[in-house]
Amino acid sequence: MFNVDTNTYKNIVYNKKEISINLFDKLDSQILSISNNIIRNYLVKNVVYKFNNKIMEIQINQNNLVVSFHRISKQFDTKNKMFIRKGYENGNICYSMVVEDDFVCDYIFEIMKKTYDFLVNPPKSLSETLFDILNDKIISLSNSITYHYTNKGLVFKDKRNFAMISKTRYGIYLKLLNVNNDNHILKIITQKTYEPLCLSYKIKELSDIDIILPFIQESYKLNKINPTDLKNEYYKIYIQ
């Protein structure tokens, strides 16, 4: 509960050879030097290092160490030394590396420093990048456009709502008014969840924005139509 070690250093290194003890001492000091936010716990058979969640384990053998990493650390393994832990393929701590000399210790230290930096300042995801670009492009259509957040996404409005975007695992989900869709690029929303935004498009990459932008512009123009006519057009799409 209070990040107190559940075992002792002496129990971990008991009956181990000097080479593995020295390797552990070096690597342990390197990892803890990265940040005071990294917490070390001695367990029965290994040593665990945590930052928010577990990020690394060290098992001390007679002549070497087996270091296991969080899956996000694999991207920093430029020398391709990590291997999959058998039986842990679906877990977070799923990659391992054998440590037999100081050179590998230094390499692991580099990996863990990059892992920590990644966790503290994660890069923008593709969804966030696409969301920001699309947001800027919609706002730039007119100075009169306003927007507000709902539990379903970011809604854009001029005279009335004409577009909504939300982040998903694959990218961005876009909803529009009933614009001309003769090429069937847009999909009909099966549930009337946010009338009258009845057409949708899934944006998965940057090139999709150029495809969908003309439809957004047309939806913006439709928002100036009398709301009664707009509602009637909305219901027609479900009768066809």
Helix (H) or strand (E) run with residue 94 in it: strand 93-99
pLDDT at 31: 96
pLDDT at 9: 86
pLDDT at 1: 44
Helix (H) or strand (E) run with residue 202 in it: strand 199-203
pLDDT at 191: 56
| pLDDT band (50, 70, 90) for residue 239 | very low
Q: Could you tell me what percent of the chain has a pLDDT over 90? A: 59
Question: Is residue 213 pLDDT above 60, yes or no?
Answer: yes
Q: How far apart are CA 203 and CA 170, in angstroms?
A: 8
Mean pLDDT in residue range 163-192: 86
Structure letter (DSSP) for residue 164: E
| 193 SS3 class | coil
Mean pLDDT in residue range 133-155: 92
| pLDDT band (50, 70, 90) for residue 183 | confident
Mean pLDDT, all residues of the chain: 87
**Exposure string (b/e) for 161-185, b if CB count within 10 Å is 16 or more?**
bbbbbbbeeebbbbbbbbbebeeee
Mean pLDDT in residue range 200-222: 92
Name the residue with tokens 């799409």: 237
pLDDT at 227: 57
Digit-coded pLDDT (tens) for 36-71: 999 999 988 899 999 988 999 999 999 999 999 999
pLDDT at 233: 55
| pLDDT band (50, 70, 90) for residue 225 | confident
In sequence order, the β-bridge partners of residue 98 are 66
